[in-house]
Amino acid sequence: MSGPSPAAETPRIHTLPNGVRLVCDPAPGVHTVALVVAAGRGARCEGTRESGWSHLLEHMVFKGAAGRNARELAEAIEAGGGQMNAETGFERTVFHVRTLPEGLDGASALLSDILLRPTLDPGDLERERRVVLQEIAEAEDTPDDLVFEMAQAAAFQDQSLGRNILGDAASLARAGAPALADWRARLYAPDRLVIVASGAVDEDALLRLAERDFAAAAASATPASPAPARFTGGIRTDDKSLEQANLVFLCPGLAATDPDAWSAQVFVECLGGGMASRLFQEAREDRGLAYAVDAWGEFWSDCGIVGVFAGCEAESAPDLARLVVEQMVDLAGSPRGAELSRARAQLKAGQFMAAESLLARAEQAASQVLTHGRLVPAPEIAERIDACDASAVQRAGARLLGSGLAAAAVLGPSAAHPAAEAFRSRLQSLAGTA
């Protein structure tokens, strides 16, 4: 194993009687605490009628809880030197506070209030609905946001994974206060809540706070559960007057718990994970086809995606699409030793650097508990990455490309639109050689 040795044993997971899980992660030499409460349900649990409700609920719980209004909630956190925020994703909703150690007591109580006892005032709801509609409009006016939404919709047609996390006007209009209260009970049910505190924190003290603030959370009779996802593939194009074409190409990926998940991440890193990656060197440096080009992967509970984003001149888009496929297929067939070593080093560095940020560290621990049911020590992560040799990456690449399925989105001048079909048809013709 080539990586740092842990400074202490892996923190323990404690489970309250109602199913809430708790992790205390002390970090020596720091003077603040990151407190995270992650609910292991998100936008994937929504049907068409509830699209956007999880994100709207995340907004609403900050408007008032347990007798305090939005201003009083903010003042309570900031008076203790804290900062608070939240984020809704497809599979989880994460609330977090950064604070001084003496602010942890109040931060725990406040997060408990907003998750378990939000006011959900109808007047606030109407105003916040308008705020979210403005957020949707802003995303639609941002090309490099919109093109990702288009590609996601093409990849998972008529499924929650293919819908905008923000929802739409019709679905948001259906979210009355009583309906949103029921949705809260299902989304933030205790069996899927994970609390993590990283930094200057004492385990016994944290346990007392968790028992005080979260032990009374009631289980929902009908918890929301996501439907299995199916990568359908497809094409989306939109003619907009832009200086550059924005392109997103997607292939089916792997689940976070798949044995080949780390090898798939090495594949992605080799493909487009930095300035030394294949796509940056081939598409930008050698051929000048794109100014921006990179690859990424998403790894959910039962599926994933591998994607490439690029910004380029419209006339170059079809050539760029074909180049992307050719590099993917060549990488799946014959990864090079030097690029594998670079990719493994980059992935390990990213993991270890994240562990040096208290907030990232707490969020990573919560994600591991929700995904794997346990904490994954840094040495084990490094060993898994180091095990991704050429044969493992070839195997992952064959799985990623083997179906021949693809999704593509092109936003910009019409001259770029053929790139979508160029990517799909080229992948279908070459997939069998991967």
pLDDT band at 431 (very low <50, low <70, confident <90, very high): confident
Question: Would you give the DSSP letter of residue 228?
Answer: P
Six-digit token string for 301? 């509970």
Residue 247: which residues within 8 A CB-CB, separation 6 or more? 147, 308, 309, 310, 311, 312, 317, 320, 321, 408, 409, 410, 411, 416, 419, 420
pLDDT band at 227 (very low <50, low <70, confident <90, very high): confident
Whether the Cβ atoms of residue 386 and residue 347 lie closer than 8 Å to each other: no
Residue type, 47: G
Residue 47: which residues within 8 A CB-CB, separation 6 or more? 160
pLDDT band at 9 (very low <50, low <70, confident <90, very high): low
Please state, in angstroms and as integers, the Cα–Cα distance from residue 429 to each residue in 350, 385, 404, 415, following that order: 35, 31, 8, 23
For 343, other C-beta atoms within 10 Å of its C-beta total: 25
Residue 164: which residues within 8 A CB-CB, separation 6 or more? 51, 52, 136, 139, 149, 153
- Rounded distance, CA 121 to CA 362, Å? 31
DSSP conformation letters of 114-135: HHHSB---HHHHHHHHHHHHHH
Whether the Cβ atoms of residue 70 and residue 24 lie closer than 8 Å to each other: no
- Rounded distance, CA 64 to CA 70, Å? 5
Please tell me the pTM assigned to this model.
0.94
Identify which of 89, 113, 111, 88 has the alpha carbon closest to the alpha carbon of residue 98.
111
pLDDT band at 1 (very low <50, low <70, confident <90, very high): very low
Residue 225 has pLDDT above 90, yes or no: no
The mean pLDDT of 273-294, rounded to a whole number, is 96
- Give the per-residue pLDDT at 433: 52
- Give the per-residue pLDDT at 306: 98
For 315-341, what is each residue's pLDDT tens digit?
999 999 999 999 999 999 999 999 999
Map tokens 């001149």 to a residue: 313
Question: Would you give the DSSP letter of residue 21?
Answer: E
Beta strand 193-199 pairing with 33-39: antiparallel
The mean pLDDT of 171-189, rounded to a whole number, is 95
For 30-53, what is each residue's pLDDT tens digit?
999 999 999 999 999 999 999 999
Query: What SS3 class is residue 38?
Result: strand
Sheet order of strands, 292-299 included? 234-239, 407-412, 245-252, 304-312, 292-299
Question: Given CA atoms 24, 224, 59, 117 in this order, what sign does their dihedral have?
Answer: negative
For 340-383, what is each residue's pLDDT tens digit?
999 999 999 999 998 899 999 999 999 999 999 999 999 999 99
Residue 208: which residues within 8 A CB-CB, separation 6 or more? none
The mean pLDDT of 95-109, rounded to a whole number, is 97
Please state, in angstroms and as integers, the Cα–Cα distance from residue 323 to each residue in 126, 132, 159, 225, 288, following that order: 48, 38, 30, 39, 12
Q: Chain centroid to CA 329: how far?
A: 26
- Give the per-residue pLDDT at 190: 95
- Give the per-residue pLDDT at 221: 65
What domains are defined for the chain? 13-214 (3.30.830.10), 234-433 (3.30.830.10)
The mean pLDDT of 269-286, rounded to a whole number, is 97
- Rounded distance, CA 162 to CA 84, Å? 29
Please report, to the nearest 10 degrees, the dihedral formed by the alpha carbons of residues 66, 70, 72, 77 taken in order.
90
Whether the Cβ atoms of residue 173 and residue 180 lie closer than 8 Å to each other: no
Mean pLDDT of the chain: 94
Of 2 and 255, the structure prediction assigns the larger pLDDT to 255
The mean pLDDT of 400-406, rounded to a whole number, is 95
- Rounded distance, CA 311 to CA 289, Å? 9
Question: Would you give the DSSP letter of residue 218?
Answer: P
Task: Specify the range with the lowest mean pLDDT, choosing from 57-61, 218-222, 288-292, 390-394.
Answer: 218-222
